[in-house]
């Protein structure tokens, strides 16, 4: 599907948003991953989706649910093969270490939000161990202020999403085996990817929580904290589903 997506990126924005959804669904079906969605998939635009981050496979999971694009750390743009797929997904790359670039990076995200793209922010900034959430980073929430300046809208929707890997081959995925799905940053991607593909049949719960409205008066640190509380509550519920 890559040639079709490359063509769509140049000629047909609507098709370029739709083709990745089809690709992710086919890929998950081949692997054996089942995605169970709870809550209502948002239709409002502009839309920032704020999610926890468990594994590289979160991209396929969320990408199979709706049309969206991702905000990724700049290192992803250097990984062989992965960088190519990320660009076909229309990913926006950010460098969190270069704080002097934060304004420019926020503007790039703001422009995409204003164009009607649903953008996914993994607010922890990295993947975790699948058992708990890490603190949400508030810096990129500033892109919401920029997006409002690019549109006639007085507010936009911020949608919390919690996801968790709950079962493997129909059996509860407990703490001992959570590492088969989760991809902490200190684990090499290649071996983990192969292990994930070998096991395959995961159940992944995706919970759309209570959305919030962001206006020019909203404080980015406050909205980050609000999203963290909502995502953590729903993540805890997801983890109880595996019992």
Largest CA-CA distance found in the chain, in angstroms, rounded: 50
Please, are residues 206 and 35 in contact by the beta-carbon 8 Å criterion?
yes
177: pLDDT strictly greater than 70: yes
Say which residue, 150 or 48, is predicted with more confidence: 48
Average pLDDT for the chain:
86
Asked whether the bond before 203 is cis by omega within 30 degrees of 0, the reply is: no
- Alpha-carbon torsion, ordered 20, 205, 42, 152, to 10 deg: -70
Q: Whole-model pTM? A: 0.89
Per residue in 153-174, pLDDT tens? 788 899 999 999 999 888 888 7
What is the structure's pLDDT at 96?
A: 62
List 215's β-bridge partners, or say none.
Answer: 155
Mean pLDDT of 78-94: 83
**Going by C-beta distance under 8 Å and a sequence separation of 6 or more, which residues neighbour residue 130?**
54, 55, 164, 165, 178, 179, 181, 182
| Residue 62, CB-side half-sphere exposure with 13 Å CA sphere | 30
Least confident of 52-56, 112-116, 181-185: 181-185
Could you give phi then psi for residue 214, rounded to 5 degrees? -110, 125
Say which residue, 82 or 118, is predicted with more confidence: 118
Q: At 152, is the pLDDT very low, low, confident or very high (cuts 50, 70, 90)?
A: confident
Q: How far apart are CA 162 and CA 15, in angstroms?
A: 27
Sign of CA dihedral 104, 138, 128, 167: negative
| pLDDT over 90, % of the chain | 44
DSSP per-residue codes, the chain: -HHHHHHHHHH-HHHHHHHHHHHHHHHHHHHT-EEEEESPPP--SSEEEEE----TTHHHHHHHHSS-EEEEEGGGGGSTTHHHHHHHTTPEEE-TT-GGGHHHHHHHHHHHHHTT-EEEEETTSS---SSSPPPPP-GGGGHHHHHHHHSS-SEEEEEEEEEEEEEETTEE--TTTGGGT---TTS-HHHHHHHHHHH--EEEEEEE---EEEETT--HHHHHHHHHHHHHHHHHHHHHTT-
List 94's β-bridge partners, or say none.
Answer: 73
Name which CATH class applies to 2-240: alpha beta
84: pLDDT strictly greater than 60: yes
Please, are residues 62 and 122 in contact by the beta-carbon 8 Å criterion?
no
């Amino acid at each position: 599907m890559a040639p079709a997506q490359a063509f769509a990126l140049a000629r047909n924005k609507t098709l370029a948003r739709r083709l990745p959804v089809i690709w992710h669904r086919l890929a998950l079906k081949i692997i054996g991953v089942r995605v169970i969605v709870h809550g209502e998939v948002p239709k409002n635009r502009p839309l920032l989706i704020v999610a926890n981050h468990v594994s590289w496979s979160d991209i396929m999971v969320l990408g199979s649910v709706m049309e969206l694009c991702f905000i990724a750390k700049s290192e992803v743009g250097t990984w062989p093969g992965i960088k190519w797929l990320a660009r076909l997904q229309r990913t926006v790359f950010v460098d969190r270490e270069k704080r002097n670039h934060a304004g420019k990076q926020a503007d790039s995200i703001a422009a995409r939000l204003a164009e009607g793209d649903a953008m996914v922010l993994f607010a922890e900034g990295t993947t975790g161990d699948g058992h708990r959430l890490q603190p949400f980073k508030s810096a990129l929430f500033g892109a919401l202020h920029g997006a409002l300046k690019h549109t006639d809208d007085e507010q936009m929707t911020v949608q919390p999403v919690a996801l968790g890997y709950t079962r493997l081959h129909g059996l509860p995925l407990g703490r001992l085996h959570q590492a088969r799905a989760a991809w902490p940053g200190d684990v090499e991607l290649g071996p983990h990817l192969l292990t994930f593909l070998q096991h395959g049949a995961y159940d992944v719960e995706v919970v759309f929580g209570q959305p919030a409205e962001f206006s020019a008066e909203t404080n980015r640190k406050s909205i980050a904290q609000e999203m963290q509380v909502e995502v953590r509550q729903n993540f805890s519920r997801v983890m109880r589903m595996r019992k």
